[in-house]
């Protein structure tokens, strides 16, 4: 089957009627009326309930479980333990690629972190399983927990993130610092954070022989399918995962987790369908988190405020048994021009669940530190923070020297500043008060996130009645993927959306890659675009080759597709409907295929990132330190916008999580036990409506001819990056106090200045 070159095939999209429209959410009515069935809403006949027992220690061994007591409890069917479990075809501690994480699925009696699964109780009811789990009354041999950076030997990780080098240099930082007129050294600390999507990880698993049917939320269906197939020794095609609705993921559902595997093992053990859903507290361990960081900056600037050096050293932590190192240094490669840049890392191993990608991995933690340091340096240079950023505007990507594929950041700065009223900002801190006597501060931050794209496939079918079906195993975590991808699908066939059925959310469909890295719209979208273009190319060939068609002989001039018809490009009065072409040919349907793949030549030639600027206003009670964000204005440029309504919603969400990073989120670890003390949504704070100010997001126009044929960058995570720093800088501007430990809580604003 021949591939249609996208550059040629995409021409008909110039007339695309749907891309760029603010269509409402495809599944909105189903969700608000409670009809959308999430994973845990499924109850196959004969289903049992499984409940995890998890470790209450951080490190040691389970030496006793009262399995007899649990089994004697009415309704309990079985208890799965390291001594009683179905076999796996693959060692869950095996790691054959960087996207594979070691799992805790009862392989032995070791406890490697708090809330690690140590047994699974399976019962007729949720209540019986819950009570049975309590009756296990585990006893432990406990070893001292290692909970903080000083707790172990520091080492340089081989790689950070998925595959970034742990050391990167451009120019000579020491020379840049030595020659600087002004120098800044500052250390910023960010805490461990937990993803906490609204929907917990859950699974309903049913075996039929060696075929497996699963309802579970997943940000990457094909990868989950392959992981499960490997663990259970069955072909990937025998694993059927349904994941049409996901109640948030934030990265925690990007790789298949241990508890989800345990649900499948439990179903295998008892020979009946099993449902297993994590309780909130059980999500603080086996399903990933954002690792803490301590980031040391050394900045130099000359007399005119031009940076001469950026040194960015990150200390972070992984688990004792697996590798994920928060790639916080990456922002310093991209954002500000400097003749010398160095990013380095060291890491320590703690008795914690393995960290994972979480909401702007690397970039969120790196950005809040870099943007704070830039703000401090602007102040040291007696410059307005926006003027300082413009002075150090990166015309090419500083670390790589590559030109940007597109970069409308100047327009973001200008439009955001104008909307916010930034020009009226006094340079010195502690100058503004509101009517109630609260200190008022204004701060800003630059937003940045790479424009990524992964591999994906899609299939499109045009039927004789002129309707279409487009299929890819995409994931809608609530971000609006279903809607946006449906728009791309309709345009790819040049049909109205109500004439194209867009199918997603199942592993039985072509692999749509991962919904992560803010890359899903580009990834799945490009595959869909290619599939539709393939269909149109075949249809055009059919018509042009037929003497009876008005399109006959269109030849190299070609045809264009619009509203269910093909037109001669050189004479639009000659056209024919899809229905007529298929009817005359006597063909019931035309099928096309598409795939997305990054273009290595473009990757080598260009740096590809989305950008933005966020402006924040805060008020601080001068006596009590109470802190509120009262205004946020963000302006973002992220290439072609598929659906402005969905994109604005993504920016709002990102900005809310930026606020959350700056002021709220923090896992508090008990240094004696190593346990998270706030493993619940009462004490692990995320912003609620009452915490949120007026938020505005401006969509800044940007055209990118290189990033992919549709010009799509990601919009999911970028809103976090500028916002967290903008708020931190506004707090300084209000109070004159620089909080360098996040989150910024009121104790840090009224206590002694040791933060
Ligand atoms: Mo996201 S942390 O890239 O799912």
pLDDT for the residue 10? 40
Which among 749, 744, 713, 715 has a CA at the least distance from the CA of 728? 744
Select from 516, 520, 721 the residue to mutate for testing ligand 1; criterion: most ligand atoms less than 8 Å from CB. Answer: 516
In order, the DSSP letters of 291-336 are PPEEEEEEEEE-TTS-EEEEEEEEEEEEESS------GGGHHHHSB
> What's the pLDDT at 557?
75
Residue 355 has pLDDT above 70, yes or no: yes
Best CA proximity match to 400, nearest among 164, 706, 212: 164
Beta-carbon contacts of residue 333 (< 8 Å; ≥ 6 apart): 168, 341, 343, 397, 398, 399, 400
| Ligand 1 nearest atom to the CA of residue 514, by list position | 4
Ligand 1: centre distance to CA 251 (Å) = 4
Distance CA 193, CA 669 (A): 11
| Ligand 1 midpoint to CA 377 (Å) | 31
Ligand 1 atom having least distance to the Cα of 249: 4
**Is the CB of 361 inside a 6 Å radius of any atom of ligand 1?**
yes
Q: How confident is the model at residue 587 (pLDDT cuts 50, 70, 90)?
A: very high
CA distance 473 to 471: 7
pLDDT score, position 389: 98
Ligand 1 center–CA 623 separation, angstroms: 39
pLDDT tens digits for range 29-77: 999 999 999 999 999 999 999 999 999 999 999 999 999 999 999 999 9
Residue 14 is predicted with a pLDDT of: 43
**What are the respective helix, strand and coil percentages of the chain, to the nearest 5?**
30, 25, 45
Is the beta carbon of 219 within 6 A of some atom in ligand 1?
Answer: yes
pLDDT score of 752: 58
Helix (H, G, I), strand (E, B) or coil at 41: helix
Indicate the DSSP class of residue 692. -
| CB 516 less than 6 A from any atom of ligand 1 | yes
CA–CA gap between residue 312 and residue 458 (Å, rounded):
41
Domain boundaries, the chain: 3-36+454-597, 39-144+195-283, 297-314+326-452+604-750
- To test the pocket of ligand 1, the residue of 161, 196, 290, 361 to mutate (highest count of ligand atoms within 8 Å of its CB) is 361
Question: What ligand 1 atom has the least distance to the C-alpha of 356?
Answer: 2
∠ Cα 525 526 532 (to 5°) = 90
Weakest-pLDDT range from 23-27, 445-449, 471-475, 738-742: 23-27
Q: Calculate mean pLDDT across residues 708-728.
A: 97
100-152 residue pLDDT tens? 999 999 999 999 999 999 999 999 999 999 999 999 999 999 999 999 999 99
Atom number in ligand 1 closest to CA 359 = 2
CA of 734 to the centre of ligand 1 (A): 33
What's the rounded Cα separation, in Å, for the pair 43 and 60? Answer: 37
Q: Ligand 1: which of 251, 481, 650 to mutate, most ligand atoms within 8 Å of CB?
A: 251
254 lines ligand 1 (CB under 6 A): yes
Is any ligand 1 atom within 6 A of the Cβ of residue 720?
no
pLDDT at res. 455:
96
Measured in Å, residue 668 CA sits from the centre of ligand 1 at 23
Model pLDDT, residue 755: 43
Which pLDDT band holds residue 96 (cuts at 50, 70, 90)? Answer: confident
243, 245, 248, 252: CA torsion to nearest 10: 0
Quick one: 350 exposed, middle or buried, by C-beta within 10 A (0-12, 13-18, 19+)?
buried
**How far away, in angstroms, is 365 Cα from ligand 1 center?**
14
CA dist., res. 641 & res. 581, Å (int): 33
Q: What average pLDDT does range 615-632 have in this prediction?
A: 97
Mutation probe of ligand 1 site: the residue of 451, 478, 717 with most atoms within 8 A of C-beta: 717
DSSP label of 511:
P
Matching fold, domains 39-144+195-283 and 297-314+326-452+604-750: yes
Tell me: pLDDT of 9 over 80: no
Contact 451, 607 (CB under 8 A): no
This prediction has a pTM of 0.96
CATH of the domain spanning 39-144+195-283: 3.30.365.10
**Centre of ligand 1 from the C-alpha of residue 252, in Å:** 8
Q: What is the pLDDT of residues 480-535, one digit of tens each?
A: 999 999 999 999 999 999 999 999 999 999 999 999 999 999 999 999 999 999 99
Q: What is the pLDDT of residue 705?
A: 96
Tell me the CA distances in angstroms from 672 to 45, 135, 141, 148, 260, one per residue in order: 46, 25, 15, 11, 30
What are the E-state strand segments in 126-210?
139-142, 159-160, 164-165, 167-170, 182-190, 202-208
Which among 583, 19, 634, 516 has a CA at the least distance from the CA of 222? 516
Bond into 365 cis (ω within 30): no
Tell which one of 197, 247, 250, 451 to mutate to probe ligand 1, the residue whose CB is within 8 A of the most ligand atoms.
250
The length of the chain is: 755
Lowest mean pLDDT among 16-20, 110-114, 129-133, 619-623: 16-20
Question: How far is Cα 123 from Cα 732, in angstroms, rounded to an integer?
Answer: 55
Does the domain at 3-36+454-597 match CATH 3.30.365.10? Answer given as: yes
The H helix count followed by the E strand count for the chain is 18, 29
pLDDT at 661: 98
Rounded distance from Cα 449 to ligand 1 centre (Å):
12
Instruction: Evaluate: CB of 517 within 6 angstroms of ligand 1.
Output: yes
**pLDDT-derived band of residue 753, with 50, 70 and 90 as boundaries?**
low
pLDDT value, residue 265: 99
Q: Minimal CA–CA distance to 292: which of 375, 376, 352?
A: 352
Architecture of domain 297-314+326-452+604-750 in CATH?
Answer: 2-Layer Sandwich (3.30)
pLDDT of residue 751: 66
- The residues, ordered by sequence, that sit 6+ positions from 614 with a Cβ below 8 Å of its Cβ are 416, 444, 445, 446, 447, 632, 633, 634, 635, 655, 658, 719, 722, 723, 725, 726
User: Which residues is 636 bridged to in the sheet?
Assistant: 612, 699
Q: In whole numbers, what is the pLDDT of the chain averaged over residues?
A: 95
Least confident of 4-18, 373-387, 582-596, 650-664: 4-18
Q: Helical H runs in 167-257?
A: 173-178, 221-232
Which residues, other chains included, contact 231 with Cβ-Cβ below 8 Å and sequence gap of 6+? 88, 89, 90, 92, 261
CA of 440 to the centre of ligand 1 (A): 34
Rounded to whole angstroms, the Cα distance separating 339 from 301 reads 11
Residue 71 Cα to ligand 1 midpoint, Å, equals: 40
The residue whose C-alpha atom lies closest to atom 4 belonging to ligand 1 is 251
The reply to whether ligand 1 has any atom less than 6 angstroms from the CB of 327 is no
Q: Are 723 and 445 in contact (CB under 8 A)?
A: yes
Kindly report the backbone phi and psi dihedral angles of residue 741, in degrees, each rounded to the nearest multiple of 5, phi listed first: -115, 125
- Above 90 in pLDDT, residue 398? yes
Give the model confidence (pLDDT) of 177-226 as tens digits: 999 999 999 999 999 999 999 999 999 999 999 999 999 999 999 999 99
Does the Cβ of 251 fall within 6 Å of ligand 1? yes
DSSP character at residue 531: H
Residue 101 phi, psi dihedral angles, 5° rounding: -115, 145
Q: Which of 201, 356, 358, 366 has most ligand 1 atoms within 8 Å of CB, for mutation? A: 358
Cβ within 8 Å of residue 62, ≥6 positions away: 55, 109, 111, 118, 138, 139, 140
Q: Which atom of ligand 1 is nearest to the CA of 360?
A: 2
Kindly give the pairing relationship between strand 117-123 and strand 110-111.
Answer: unpaired
Give distance in angstroms: CA of 419 to centre of ligand 1: 30
The answer, yes or no, to whether any atom of ligand 1 lies below 6 A from the CB of 249, is: yes
Mean of pLDDT values over 154-172: 96
Q: How far is CA 673 from CA 114, 279, 603, in A?
A: 9, 21, 47
């Amino acid at each position: 089957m021949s591939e249609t070159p996208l550059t040629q095939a995409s021409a008909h999209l110039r007339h695309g009627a749907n891309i760029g429209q603010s269509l409402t959410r495809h599944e909105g009515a189903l969700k608000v009326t409670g009809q959308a069935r999430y994973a845990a809403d499924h109850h196959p006949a004969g289903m049992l309930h499984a409940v995890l027992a998890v470790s209450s220690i951080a490190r040691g061994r389970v030496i006793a479980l009262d399995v007899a007591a649990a089994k004697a409890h009415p309704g309990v069917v079985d208890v799965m333990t390291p001594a009683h479990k179905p076999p796996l075809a693959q060692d869950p501690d095996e790691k054959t690629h960087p996207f594979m994480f070691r799992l805790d699925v009862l392989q032995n009696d070791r406890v490697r972190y708090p809330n690690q699964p140590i047994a699974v109780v399976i019962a007729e009811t949720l209540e019986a399983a819950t009570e049975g789990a309590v009756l296990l009354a585990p006893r432990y041999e406990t070893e001292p927990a290692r909970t903080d950076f000083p707790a172990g030997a520091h080492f340089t990780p081989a790689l950070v993130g998925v595959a970034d080098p742990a050391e990167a240099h451009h120019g000579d930082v020491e020379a840049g610092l030595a020659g600087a007129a002004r120098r800044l050294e500052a250390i910023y600390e960010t805490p461990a954070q937990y993803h906490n999507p609204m929907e917990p990880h859950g699974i309903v698993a049913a075996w039929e022989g060696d075929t497996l049917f699963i309802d579970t939320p997943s940000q990457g269906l094909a990868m989950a399918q392959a992981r499960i197939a490997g663990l259970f020794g069955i072909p990937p095609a025998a694993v059927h995962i349904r994941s049409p609705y996901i109640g948030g993921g934030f990265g925690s559902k990007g790789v298949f987790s241990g508890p989800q595997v345990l649900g499948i093992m439990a179903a295998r053990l008892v020979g009946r369908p099993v449902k297993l859903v994590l309780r909130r507290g059980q999500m603080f361990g086996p399903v990933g988190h954002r690792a803490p960081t301590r980031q040391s900056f050394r900045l130099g600037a000359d007399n005119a405020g031009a940076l001469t050096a950026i040194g960015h050293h990150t200390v972070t932590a992984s688990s004792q048994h697996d590798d994920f190192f928060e790639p916080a240094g990456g922002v310093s490669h991209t954002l500000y021009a400097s003749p010398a840049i160095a990013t380095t890392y060291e890491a320590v191993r703690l008795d914690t669940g393995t960290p994972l990608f979480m909401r702007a991995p690397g970039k969120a933690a790196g950005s809040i530190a870099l943007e704070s340091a830039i703000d401090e340096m602007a102040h040291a240079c007696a410059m307005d923070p926006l003027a300082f950023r413009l002075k150090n505007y990166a015309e090419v990507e500083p670390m790589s020297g590559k030109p940007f594929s597109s970069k409308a950041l100047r327009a973001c700065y200008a439009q955001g500043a104008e909307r916010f009223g930034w020009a009226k900002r006094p340079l010195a801190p502690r100058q503004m008060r509101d009517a109630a006597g609260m200190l008022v501060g204004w701060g800003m931050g630059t937003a940045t996130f790479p424009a990524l794209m992964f591999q994906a496939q899609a299939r499109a079918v045009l039927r004789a009645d002129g309707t279409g079906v487009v299929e890819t195993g995409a994931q809608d975590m609530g971000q609006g993927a279903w809607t946006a991808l449906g728009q791309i699908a309709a345009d790819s066939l040049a049909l109205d959306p109500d004439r194209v059925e867009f199918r997603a959310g199942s592993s039985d469909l072509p692999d749509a890659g991962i919904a992560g890295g803010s890359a899903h719209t580009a990834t799945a979208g490009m595959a869909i675009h290619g599939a539709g273009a393939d269909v149109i190319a075949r249809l055009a060939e059919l018509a042009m080759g037929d003497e009876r068609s008005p399109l006959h002989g269109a030849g190299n001039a070609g045809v264009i597709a619009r509203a269910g018809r093909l037109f001669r490009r050189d004479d639009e009065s000659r056209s024919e409907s899809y229905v007529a072409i298929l009817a005359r040919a006597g063909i019931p349907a035309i099928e096309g295929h598409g795939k997305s793949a990054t273009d290595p030549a473009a990757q080598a030639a260009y740096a590809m990132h989305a950008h933005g600027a966020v402006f924040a206003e805060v008020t601080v009670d001068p006596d009590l330190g109470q802190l509120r964000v009262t205004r946020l204005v963000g302006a973002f440029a992220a290439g072609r916008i598929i659906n402005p309504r969905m994109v604005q919603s993504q920016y709002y969400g990102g900005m809310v999580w930026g606020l959350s990073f700056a002021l709220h989120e923090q896992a508090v670890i008990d240094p004696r036990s190593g346990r998270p003390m706030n493993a619940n949504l009462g004490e692990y704070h995320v912003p609620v409506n009452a915490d949120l100010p007026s938020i505005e997001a401006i969509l800044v126009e940007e055209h990118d001819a290189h990033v992919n044929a549709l010009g799509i960058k990601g919009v999911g995570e970028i809103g976090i990056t500028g916002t967290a720093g903008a708020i931190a800088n506004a707090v300084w501007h209000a109070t004159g106090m620089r909080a360098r430990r996040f989150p910024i809580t009121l104790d840090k604003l009224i206590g002694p200045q040791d933060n």
